[in-house]
């Protein structure tokens, strides 16, 4: 049976000077890893778990599985900015620090804010503009609820929900991602001014999606969900949730590359809440640093998710702000580049404070 190897950062420091320059800067961002675990498994069984300091890991590479050197290189490699095509050229979203994507649900039945914006385009647009003013780098527009048990949406309805919102935001100069699984919606939204495809099925739902995304030239977000791309909440028994999702995302990354989508255009999302138990979600969030070894920018969408309610006396979706910000900070600490959230102003404020702490740590005289 083949052995698979994984590189997991297990300790972080405030800056490289804490370890006399021997900590590893993760993905060109503001997090620094000082210790690592190399995990090997055969099938469902962990067969080796070795711990290393950063210098010891470098020295041990000739004696470790070949893939570990590749993963270390991918983990250290700075993430290129997202290049978003516009009608008059292009714009970029830097990924050397966390960025916030604000959620605009043009749906009647999304778990958190279904119906709040669908029936009043003025309210929807004002909300999106407020998110931009609060510091969102991008607005993620969706017209299909993907909560557990949500009914299917006719393609025509989805188009009618999202295209007018995208057109108006594009005229206002916003960076826009389109949250859809359907090529017809991707195509219409991009024509209306969207610049990113965010597909919760990782381009599996529509058989034309991989080819279309490759030819579109825009960045794509590939999210983990079990099932075949149509059933996003299938019950699955994971051998090891973090390693299984890692392998799945690696396979989807490679499928995207084979289809002609450049690495600089691929973003990966762990799919918190999709076909995962509370224990699965917690394990994934604790293992976030592992996924930098795939060499791609990461997006986290945990805002107002059911897991927060499960840990908070079943708090309703609109009362999960504290938990949402906590998970956003967890993602920042782990080096995640994109945070998809409902509560933009509060998340951006947390980001500014976190960034201030990071900057101060790099020049703190007590650590020199």
Looking at the predicted structure, is the pLDDT value of residue 238 above 70?
yes
CATH number of the domain encompassing residue 124:
3.20.20.20
Task: Note whether 179 and 68 are within 8 A (CB).
Answer: no
* pTM: predicted TM-score of the whole model, two decimal places: 0.94
Residue ending a domain, among 76, 111, 134, is 76
Strands 24-25 and 32-42: antiparallel
How far apart (Å, rounded) are the C-alpha atoms in residues 36 and 54? 7
How far apart (Å, rounded) are the C-alpha atoms in residues 136 and 284? 25
Q: Does any domain span residue 362?
A: no
25 is catalytic: no
What's residue 109's pLDDT?
55
Residues 52 and 176 in one domain: no
Residues 90 and 64 in one domain: no
How would you label 282-312 residue by residue, b for 16+ Cβ within 10 Å and e otherwise? bbbbebbbbbbbbbbbbbbbbbbbbbbbeee
Residues 69 and 87 in one domain: no
Task: Note whether 242 and 272 are within 8 A (CB).
Answer: no
What's residue 118's pLDDT?
58
Task: Note whether 367 and 15 are within 8 A (CB).
Answer: yes
Q: Does any domain span residue 367?
A: no
Task: Give the total number of structural domains in the chain.
Answer: 2
Residues 69 and 153 in one domain: no
Q: Does any domain span residue 368?
A: no
Residues 174 and 123 in one domain: yes
320: containing domain: 82-357
What's residue 112's pLDDT?
56
Residue ending a domain, among 76, 99, 132, is 76
How far apart (Å, rounded) are the C-alpha atoms in residues 309 and 114? 18
Residue ending a domain, among 46, 76, 106, is 76
Q: Out of 276, 320, 340, 358, which one is annotated catalytic?
A: 340
Residues 195 and 274 in one domain: yes
Residues 38 and 117 in one domain: no
Residues 92 and 170 in one domain: yes
Looking at the predicted structure, is the pLDDT value of residue 290 above 70?
yes
Strands 89-93 and 82-86: antiparallel
Q: Does any domain span residue 365?
A: no
Query: For residue range 29-86, what is the model confidence (pLDDT) as tens digits?
Result: 999 999 999 999 999 999 999 999 999 999 999 999 999 999 999 999 999 999 998 8
Q: DSSP letter string over 151-171?
A: PP--HHHHHHHHHHHHHHHHH
Mean pLDDT of 210-239: 89
Looking at the predicted structure, is the pLDDT value of residue 119 above 80?
no
Q: Work out the end-to-end distance of the chain between its first and last CA atoms, rounded to an integer number of angstroms.
A: 48
Query: For residue range 340-368, what is the model confidence (pLDDT) as tens digits?
Result: 999 999 999 999 999 999 999 888 755 44
How far apart (Å, rounded) are the C-alpha atoms in residues 95 and 265? 12
276 is catalytic: no
What's residue 368's pLDDT?
47
What's residue 232's pLDDT?
77
Q: Does any domain span residue 366?
A: no
Mean pLDDT of 13-35: 92
Looking at the predicted structure, is the pLDDT value of residue 286 above 70?
yes
What's residue 62's pLDDT?
97
Residues 219 and 353 in one domain: yes
Residues 71 and 108 in one domain: no
- Give SS3 for 228: coil
Residues 96 and 54 in one domain: no
What's residue 90's pLDDT?
81
Residues 51 and 97 in one domain: no
Torsion of CA 131, 350, 198, 234, to 10 degrees: -120
Neighbouring residues of 326: CB distance < 8 A, sequence distance ≥ 6: none
Q: Out of 305, 306, 319, 320, which one is annotated catalytic?
A: 305
Torsion of CA 160, 83, 333, 71, to 10 degrees: 120
How far apart (Å, rounded) are the C-alpha atoms in residues 201 and 190? 18
Both structure tokens of 329: 């900070």
How far apart (Å, rounded) are the C-alpha atoms in residues 334 and 73? 17
Mean pLDDT of 158-163: 95
Place of tokens 């917690």: 282
What's residue 227's pLDDT?
82
């Amino acid at each position: 049976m083949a052995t698979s190897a994984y590189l997991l950062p297990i300790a972080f420091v405030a800056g490289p000077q804490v370890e006399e320059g021997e900590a590893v800067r993760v993905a060109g961002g503001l997090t620094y890893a000082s210790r690592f675990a190399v995990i090997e498994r055969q099938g469902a069984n962990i067969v080796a778990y070795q711990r290393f300091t950063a210098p010891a890991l470098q020295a041990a590479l000739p004696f470790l599985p070949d893939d570990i050197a590749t993963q270390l290189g991918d983990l250290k490699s700075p993430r290129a900015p997202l290049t978003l095509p516009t009608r008059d050229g292009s714009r970029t979203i830097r990924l050397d620090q966390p960025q916030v994507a604000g959620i605009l649900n043009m749906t009647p039945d999304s778990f958190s804010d279904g119906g709040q914006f669908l029936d009043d385009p003025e309210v929807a647009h004002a909300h999106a503009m407020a998110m931009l003013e609060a510091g969102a780098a991008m607005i993620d527009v969706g017209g299909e609820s993907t909560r557990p048990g949500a009914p299917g949406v006719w393609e025509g309805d989805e188009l009618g929900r999202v295209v007018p919102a995208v057109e108006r935001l594009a005229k206002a100069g916003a960076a826009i991602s389109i949250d859809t699984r359907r090529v017809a919606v991707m195509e219409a939204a991009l024509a209306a001014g969207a610049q990113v495809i965010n597909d919760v099925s990782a381009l599996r739902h529509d058989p034309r999606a991989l080819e279309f995304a490759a030819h579109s030239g825009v960045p794509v977000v590939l999210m983990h969900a079990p099932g075949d791309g149509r059933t996003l909440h299938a019950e699955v028994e994971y051998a090891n949730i973090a390693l299984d999702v890692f392998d799945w995302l690696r396979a989807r990354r490679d499928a995207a590359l084979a289809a002609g989508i450049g690495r600089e255009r691929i973003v990966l999302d762990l799919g918190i809440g999709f076909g995962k138990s509370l224990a699965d979600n917690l394990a994934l969030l604790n293992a976030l640093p592992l996924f930098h070894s795939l060499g791609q920018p990461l997006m986290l969408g945990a805002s107002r998710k059911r897991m927060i309610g499960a840990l908070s006396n079943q708090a309703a979706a609109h009362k999960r702000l504290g938990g949402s910000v906590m998970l956003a900070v967890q993602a920042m600490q782990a080096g995640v580049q994109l945070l998809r959230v409902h509560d933009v102003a509060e998340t951006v404020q947390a980001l500014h404070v976190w960034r201030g702490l990071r900057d101060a740590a790099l020049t703190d005289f007590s650590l020199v």
